[in-house]
Amino acid sequence: MNFKKSKKGSHIDVIVSFVIFIVFITFLFVLVNPATITEKDKKQTAEYIKLKIEDKIEADIVIVNVVNTSLKGENDCVSLDEGGLEISEMTSIAKDSNGSFANTKDAIGTLQIKWTGDSGFFRVYYSKNSFNSHITESILTCQVGRIDSVRYIQEAVETNISKLISDYNSNYSLLKTELGLSKNEEFAIQFEFNNGTIIGSSPKDAKIERYAEKYQVSYFDKEANKKSGYMIIYIW
């Protein structure tokens, strides 16, 4: 007696065989290339940490461009009405068109900017706990300056970069938790400033199989100068 072979059963056999083949190939791949998968995992962790670090080292910065529309007076200064600016508890640094410091004095809602040259343009940087203060004595009556533009930005600052490294050294476990690393993951961080100074730690044990990533970071130093350095992340 002849029986016709079930096409449905044949299809199931093919699918099962294919699944077994894929599982076998995957097993061989994992067995032969465990380092490749581990490297990929560490790279993904590093990318995630980069985003978390970015949040920690950035600060709110307000940049105000001021134009002096009056002739230079005998007091050699220009006043800026700060009433409409969102600068609560922020420290200011003023610079003239050449990038030189123009010593300042905060009155009630007014910033007085002193200068020695004939500059008609000033840039004032505001940030909380990020810049050194250059506030000096009151300059009495000044020429009135006009606000030409105001920018509210978030940028990395030297102060927060140094604090990040300090937090790593003083409370590694807490920082690890804040960055979202698992219990089985360890990390180290370093930062290289534009002058070549490196702060932070790297893994000391040469036997550790670690993943390292170095990337460029633009930041404001304590004198409101825009500079560039490198953050280095180690994962193992």
CA nearest to 96, candidates 123, 71, 70, 131: 123
Query: How far is Cα of residue 114 from the mean position of the Cα atoms in its chain?
Result: 32
The residue type of 37 is I
Please report whether residue 6 resides in a domain. Answer: no
pLDDT of 46 strictly over 80: yes
Asked if residue 203 has pLDDT above 80, the reply is yes
pLDDT of residue 36: 45
Rounded CA separation 75/89 (Å): 27
Q: Please indicate, yes or no, whether residues 117 and 225 belong to a single structural domain of this protein.
A: no
Whether 201 maps to a domain, the answer reads yes
pLDDT-based confidence at residue 163 (cuts at 50, 70, 90): very high
E strands within the chain?
A: 58-68, 77-81, 91-96, 104-106, 110-114, 121-127, 143-157, 187-192, 198-200, 211-220, 226-235
Q: Which residues of 35-63 are buried (b: 16+ CB within 10 A; e: fewer)?
A: eeeeeeebeebbeebeeebeebbbbbbbb
Q: Provide the domain limits for residue 199.
A: 36-58+158-235
Residue 183 within a domain: yes
Give per-residue pLDDT as tens, 86-143.
999 998 999 988 888 887 776 677 888 887 666 678 999 999 999 998 877 666 678 8
- Burial (CB count within 10 angstroms: exposed 0-12, middle 13-18, buried 19+), residue 25: exposed
Calculate Rg over the CA atoms of the chain: 29
4 or 213, higher pLDDT = 213
- Is the same domain home to 74 and 183? no
pLDDT tens for residues 164-200?
999 999 999 999 999 999 988 999 999 999 899 999 9
Q: Is the pLDDT of residue 35 over 60?
A: no
Which residue did the predictor score with more confidence, 184 or 160?
160
All residues at 6 or more sequence positions from 143 whose CB lies less than 8 Å from its CB, including other chains: 68, 70, 71, 72, 73, 75, 77, 78, 79
Number of folded domains that form the chain: 2
Among 154, 187, 214, which residue terminates a domain?
A: 154
* Predicted TM-score (pTM) of this structure: 0.78
Listed residue (88, 92, 110, 111) closest to 101, CA to CA? 92
Which of 130, 154, 178 marks a domain boundary?
154
Could you tell me if residue 20 is inside a domain?
A: no
Question: Is there a single domain that holds both residue 149 and residue 225?
Answer: no
Rounded-to-integer distance, Cα 75 and Cα 77, Å: 6
Of 189, 152, 171, 226, the C-alpha closest to 53 is 189
Q: How far apart are CA 134 and CA 91, in angstroms?
A: 9
